[in-house]
Chain A
Amino acid sequence: MALHRNCEGMKRRDCLSLGLGALLGGGFVDALRLRSVASEGKPAAVTRKTSCILFWLDGGPSHFETFDPKPDAPSEIRGEFQPIETKVPGMFFSENMRRLSAISDKFSIVRSVRHDQNNHGAGNHYMTTGAPTRIPVSCGAFVSFHPSMGSVVSHERGAPHGLPPYFSLPDMSRSGGPNFLGARHAPFVVGDDPNSESFRVRDVTIPNGLDDGRAVSRRDLRNTMDSMLRFQDRAAGDPVLGADQNYQQAVSLITSEEAKKAFEIQQEPKEIREAYGRSTLGQQALLARRLVEAGVPFVTLNNGGWDHHSNIFPAFKGQGQKLEAVVATLIEDLAQRGMLDTTLVLVMGEFGRTPQISKLPGSNTPGRDHWSNAISVLVAGCGTPGGQVVGATDRYGYTAVENIYGPENLVSTVYRKLGIDPDTILYNTTGRPTHLVSDSRPIVELMG
């Protein structure tokens, strides 16, 4: 392709026809272009259906130990690890990001996301909904004031074959709920471990000990015993008609070959399963890919344990390396299948970590504390340029200093790539108009 296209299928050239390009130039053109398009209504229809897989690293992974190493900083900031070269000259990661460094031409790293919510509850909310919490909340909080990205995608996009449009594995992230969009846009949670031999997707598969024949005859029996009168006149607003629709959808999901296929991770070739790693996270990522293949537009892999107030260096040798291997495998696998063009992969948490290494009282291993002034985010696929570093932090990693973006811009980027206009206005349960994102400008460098 000669011109970079983002997932909306819009070209850089389009803005020139407005005649403003020469006057303005730079990033502002994109902002204006997007605004002008937004004001004309919804963006052009997405020709290819796009999806997103979000690795949500709850706790807030360190930017130093991942994608923003500071080798020139004093040792109490630098930490134990060395930077390593990546496939792209001049792009350096922390030494544990080995697998990813070998494919750094396939994704962008944004080093300059920042916000002002330095506790888990508020940070989770800001980064996964694009909106700050309405009132101050605390570290332990699981709060929702605004629909999460997954719920918005469910609301705006839907999914084929009776599949739920928004999955969350193995549980919902803290602020991953639908808020006013309603229960039908809550994530479909798959709590069972896809790495287990007996893995089945909850409630979609017939319970153990029941053969298909009995399940079918039960459904037949149900239909003969269902004698409640329905009022077909729509003006009567019979809620039972809605229940019937849901029942039909449930049956079509249970009997859908596509859905069944997506859930049957056991059918995946052994080499592929091994490549993702026989761990819960590895197989969750593989399941996410299968769901995306079946048409699911949003899957969250909610992965906890990134709050490294102590023991940070062994942790990045252990879980850090495991995570990056899974992410690298997923990106490679998607690329190989030609799916990376239509699948957005995000790796992020609620904030970065303090530059100064410290020890908690009573702890004898060092760690880093919460730090929302500098957050690194990995973004791959869906037209995201590869081998790119967006923005920068200062020389010691204290704060984002170049091309600074807020969570709003990140979330707007995700919506744009999924064919959703971030300027969309939704109405909450009180009828109040609510902007999907208050600052709808995307991170232009990621838009291709």
Chain B
Amino acid sequence: MNLRTQRGTTTASRLRFGLFCSVVLVGVLLPDSSQANEPVAGEEKPAALVTFENDVQPLLTRFGCNSGPCHGKSRGQNGFALSLLGFDSDFDHDSLVQSARGRRISTAAPEMSALLQKATGKVPHGGGVRFSVDSPHYKLLRDWIAAGAPRTPADAPKLLRVVVEPSTRSLAPKESTPLKVYAEYSDGNRRDVTDASAFQSNDRTIAAISGEGLLEAGPVPGEAAIMVRYMGHIAVCAVTIPLVGTVPDEAYAALPRNNEIDEFVWKKLKLLGMLPSAPASESTFHRRVFLRIIGRLPSPEETRAYLADTSPDKRAQLVDRLLERPEYGDFWANKWADLLRPNPFRVGMKATWNLDAWLRGAFRDNMPYDEFVRELVTASGGTYRNGATVIFRDRPDTVEIGSSVSQLFLGVRLECAKCHHHPFEVWSQDDFYGFASFFSRVGHVGGLSPPISGAEEIIFTKRTGQLLHGRTGVPVLPKTLTGASLTLGPDEDPREILAAWMTDDANPYFAKVMANRVWADLMGVGIVEPVDDMRATNPASNEPLVNFLAQEFKKEHYDIKKLVRKIVLSHVFMLSSIPKERNVTDIKNFSRYYRQRMRAEVALDAVNDVLGTEEKFAAMPPGSRATQLWTHRASSLFLDTFGRPDPNQDPPCERMSDFTTPQVLHLMNSPQLNAKLSSDDARPAKLAASTEPNEKLIEEVFLLIYCRLPTADEMNRALPLVAAGDRRKGLEDLFWALLNTPEFLFVD
């Protein structure tokens, strides 16, 4: 939607509706209208001049008046609209003072101002009572109104920064402490603005924060970040609540250190008073590393051989072998296809296939990640020849490709800043349009409109082109997130300049985002979550660790396989998922491995590998695996049920990892799955026909599905199934039973 028209129309309707409201309110609330016009005698002059930007706007933010659900939404609330979190002072002042014929404030009778009447609940207010008549906030607003609702003079000292004290704090469970917020001005003035600041905790169960800035630790140990906002400036207080009781230093010193990663994690655990879980068993590690590196289960032969291997570096050998397997490329390309795969209805089938093939090639060849991103961001040529160009066919809109690129590769979500100042970050509309402006000269030629998208589209760089600011309508020059605006000549390609800035070793975001993504793919949880949301107010659970991984990644010339190798050979990767007493509450510090359901494609391939069957996909050669699919449009009830990015959804990159009841039902009762299970060509029938002893058969089923040998107890319970009567039926039931347990479906 075009922002300007949106604002334009809503402003008009705001005025109309506001006017109507004011008439109503005057009629109902001020039956004696003469009273409103009468000057209030004996009004004392406020001591210091209270002004709009400095004093009033912070209060509107502090009390949530200009928040998204209230008057901050674009159409306002009940005709009264403010800019979201106060990013547009002109608009807000106008809305309070001018709109609704000045009904919202009455300088003659400040107490009768709708602003005060509403906020104190004297007249019905949808948002309830925000403060009381005897509060300092009330006095401040009344003084401001009485003084004629002045704005802060343009030459007033500028607010430079906001500081929260303390900025780090360790608390005992249930302990509380007040936070203080100070605003620092260009004239050297420092002012306590705690009272007018807005606070927010990123995890209220760990540490809560009251409106007055009282920090309260919850009963559970952990960490939280408290965001403080004052006048568009943000400060963060990092809170730690360590476990009760002390752990001797020797306990940490004695922990294994396979590489630097372990040191960073142990350091963090020590801070929290946590201890890691025990190492995972050999078979658990084996299954885990297969699923995490190549997205498939190990075969019984592979598991047997690995368990029998006695060489001391067998784990490193295994990892090296896996990284060279052909499935590696398909599996990792499949993840990236989630992020980049276009909607075929928008770009056409051939273009979809080309981008997919380009991605698979990149991961098969282990293309360095900086090169990978440079080729995508600067892609030129035809959508039939260069698959990378398809991202521009898919997102022809300059602002859309701009926000996609910043989120995907820099972990900076600029999208909010398209329409308003980012609510949790420093990004402004100028940053948003400046960044998007790097794409303002992307040229498109050819390519009939989808769905008749048979033709090729050529993506190139034009010699001219500009992007207009969404609010001001003024052309915006390209500007990186850390630099100044650039004036580029017609022969310079803005995208080349952007790519060079992004992939420069000095870029603070680029390597970090990918290192975090790879970590999350291997560990089940990112060091920063969500993985593409890097900002001060969403702190990493282990900042030194993610910085180290980023440095390593740069040092190894953005070699993804080397990064994978480093992570999976850390002791941390090899921990069991089973918590112990001193880490049961840990869900983000990697004191244990975190269980995760297999993603849809991996689960479907696993079912077929277990049963020795094949899936038939439209537009794929026979024997293709689900991880090789080039379009989410290939119909598969299984994949739909287990969640794959919905190509109908824009952006399509969100993948549902929920575990749902239809998934359980599908595994239990799907006619297709049951037909496979009981097919003469499937593994249950084949095993039943073999001459192997019963114990061996049971072992085989456990190795296939759980990738471990059965315990003696499990063996005893399973034996009667195959011993008595119909051996095949018993085996089918055993396969069914194991396939329907979480031990099959989860990466543990």
Write the residues of chain A forming the contact surface with B, with a CB cutoff of 8 angstroms. 19-20, 23-24, 35-36, 38-40, 121, 132-135, 137-145, 162, 164, 174-175, 177, 179-180, 182-184, 186, 188, 202-210, 214, 217-218, 221-222, 224-229, 231, 233, 235-240, 242-244, 246-247, 249-250, 253-254, 425, 429-430, 432-433, 435, 438
Measured between beta carbons, the chain A residues less than 8 angstroms from B743 are: 226-228
Measured between beta carbons, the chain B residues less than 8 angstroms from A229 are: 578
Whether B585 contacts A240 by the Cβ 8 Å rule is no
In the bound complex, what is the Cα–Cα distance between A429 and B657 (angstroms)? 12
Interface: B681 (CB within 8 A):
no
Whether B649 contacts A179 by the Cβ 8 Å rule is yes
In the bound complex, what is the Cα–Cα distance between A134 and B399 (angstroms)? 12
With both beta carbons as reference points, the residue of chain A lying nearest to B677 in the complex is identified as A207
Whether A207 contacts B669 by the Cβ 8 Å rule is yes
Whether A433 contacts B69 by the Cβ 8 Å rule is yes
Write the residues of chain B forming the contact surface with A, with a CB cutoff of 8 angstroms. 1, 24, 27-28, 68-69, 73, 75, 78, 124, 126-127, 220, 343, 345-346, 397, 400, 413, 416, 449-451, 530, 533, 578-579, 584-585, 587, 595-597, 637, 643, 646-650, 654, 656, 658-666, 668-671, 674-675, 678, 711, 714, 717-718, 721, 733-734, 736-738, 740-743, 745-746, 748
Contact of A228 among B28, B69, B733, B741 (CB under 8 A): B741
With both beta carbons as reference points, the residue of chain B lying nearest to A244 in the complex is identified as B742
Contact of A145 among B579, B650, B656 (CB under 8 A): B650
Measured between beta carbons, the chain A residues less than 8 angstroms from B69 are: 425, 433
> What is the minimal beta-carbon distance from A167 to any residue of chain B, in angstroms?
11
Give 25 CB contacts A-B under 8 Å.
A19-B28, A137-B650, A138-B450, A140-B451, A141-B345, A141-B450, A164-B661, A182-B658, A183-B656, A188-B662, A202-B670, A204-B665, A207-B670, A217-B733, A218-B736, A221-B734, A222-B741, A225-B738, A225-B741, A226-B742, A228-B748, A231-B578, A238-B595, A243-B742, A253-B665
Whether A142 contacts B647 by the Cβ 8 Å rule is yes
> What is the minimal beta-carbon distance from B338 to any residue of chain A, in angstroms?
14
With both beta carbons as reference points, the residue of chain A lying nearest to B583 in the complex is identified as A236
Whether A144 contacts B646 by the Cβ 8 Å rule is yes
In the bound complex, what is the Cα–Cα distance between A184 and B658 (angstroms)? 7
> What is the minimal beta-carbon distance from B631 to any residue of chain A, in angstroms?
13
Contact of B24 among A23, A133, A175, A250 (CB under 8 A): A23
Measured between beta carbons, the chain A residues less than 8 angstroms from B668 are: 203, 250, 254
In the bound complex, what is the Cα–Cα distance between A196 and B654 (angstroms)? 37
Whether A206 contacts B669 by the Cβ 8 Å rule is yes
Known pairs A137-B346, A207-B669; A222 contacts B736 (CB<8 A): yes
In the bound complex, what is the Cα–Cα distance between A39 and B121 (angstroms)? 13
> What is the minimal beta-carbon distance from B662 to any residue of chain A, in angstroms?
6
Whether A250 contacts B650 by the Cβ 8 Å rule is no
In the bound complex, what is the Cα–Cα distance between A138 and B343 (angstroms)? 11
In the bound complex, what is the Cα–Cα distance between A134 and B597 (angstroms)? 32
Whether A134 contacts B650 by the Cβ 8 Å rule is yes
With both beta carbons as reference points, the residue of chain A lying nearest to B734 in the complex is identified as A221
> What is the minimal beta-carbon distance from B520 to any residue of chain A, in angstroms?
15
13 more A-B residue pairs beyond the given contacts A184-B661, A239-B746, A250-B661, with a C-beta to C-beta distance below 8 A: A140-B345, A141-B343, A141-B648, A142-B345, A144-B648, A183-B643, A207-B671, A210-B674, A231-B584, A233-B579, A236-B587, A247-B664, A429-B654
By Cβ-Cβ distance, the 4 closest A-B pairs, closest first, are A39-B126, A140-B451, A183-B656, A142-B648
Whether B742 contacts A240 by the Cβ 8 Å rule is yes
Known pairs A138-B345, A228-B742, A231-B579; A239 contacts B595 (CB<8 A): yes
Contact of A243 among B584, B659, B669 (CB under 8 A): B659
In the bound complex, what is the Cα–Cα distance between A429 and B127 (angstroms)? 25
Whether A254 contacts B669 by the Cβ 8 Å rule is yes
In the bound complex, what is the Cα–Cα distance between A207 and B733 (angstroms)? 13
Name the residue in A162, A206, A231, A429 with the highest tally of chain B Cβ atoms < 10 Å from its Cβ: A231
